[in-house]
Amino acid sequence: MENLIYKRIVILANSVKRSHWCVAGKQIFASNGRWVPGLWVRPVDPSTEGGAITRENMRCDNGRIPQPFDIVDIPMLKCVVDPHHPEDWIIDSSRKWKYIGTFPANDADSLLDSPPHLWSSRTDKRKLPEGYIAKMLRPASLFFIKPATDFHIAIFKEEDRPRRRLSFRYKDTDHEFDITDPTFEDRYLHGHRIIPGQKFEMTLPQDGRLHLCLSLTPPFHGAHYKIAATIWERPPA
């Protein structure tokens, strides 16, 4: 029998993945009355397509479905050891997640990453060639950042399916991310209906409160695609 490990993480990504969910966060530890962040952890279930987490598997012992900035203890079996997704850990799907509390919104900046370069390609703003992650100096398929300027969103119908993309510039490089945050439309579109053939564009607040949880997909048709898993704004002071 495999040893059971509980990892306490603050949820930063809780996004749609096909009919299930992609969840990820940073392991955290209590120290002198504060939470100290550790490494990224992405729970996966090998029994589902792409390792996605079902709604019932992520339901906590108190019935709560975790949201971004919730703190939860997740029962894990082992690290996947995947060079394309080094943060992946296999969950014990027979056990409930434990809800611990909520991470203080005012401490969100303590969770930020500061990569010298965000994943970049000279040929494509939306995707990277398969194997890119494994070749990074510090392999990473997840970042939590606060970009400096120019958050632009375009939403359009493609084959009768809405496509939502976030674009911004990070350290002199342009990027595009498919938005998989399930709460995005309710928070930002306010009932605006996107019809086939129409392109809807908007900008996001640029007052320093916006935080992004970004991810790269596993290889798909020879590429890793860029995902905006969570778009989060710190509440006004």
Domain that holds residue 23: 5-106
Q: Collect all residues with Cβ–Cβ distance below 8 Å to 18 and sequence separation of at least 6.
A: 49, 50, 52
Residue at which a domain ends, from 89, 106, 123:
106
Residue in the block written with tokens 């564009």: 201
Whether residues 219 and 147 fall in one domain: yes
Q: Domain count of the chain?
A: 2
Nearest CA among 3, 77, 65 for reference residue 41: 77
Whether residues 95 and 116 fall in one domain: no
Cα–Cα distances in angstroms (integers) from residue 142 to residues 22, 177, 206, 213, 229, in the given order:
12, 13, 22, 7, 10
**Confidence tier at 38 by pLDDT (50, 70, 90):** very high
Whether residues 174 and 201 fall in one domain: yes
Residue at which a domain ends, from 48, 75, 106:
106
33 CB burial (10 A radius; 0-12, 13-18, 19+): exposed
Residue at which a domain ends, from 106, 134, 163:
106
pLDDT tens digit sequence for 178-200: 999 988 878 877 766 766 667 77
Whether residues 71 and 150 fall in one domain: no
Let me know how long the chain is: 237
Q: Quote the CA–CA distance of 146 and 110 in Å, as a whole number.
A: 11
pLDDT tens digit sequence for 210-225: 899 999 999 999 999 9
Whether residues 220 and 204 fall in one domain: yes
Whether residues 117 and 229 fall in one domain: yes
pTM of the model: 0.91
Whether residues 115 and 168 fall in one domain: yes
Percent of residues, the chain, with pLDDT higher than 70:
90
Lowest mean pLDDT among 85-89, 137-141, 150-154, 173-177: 150-154
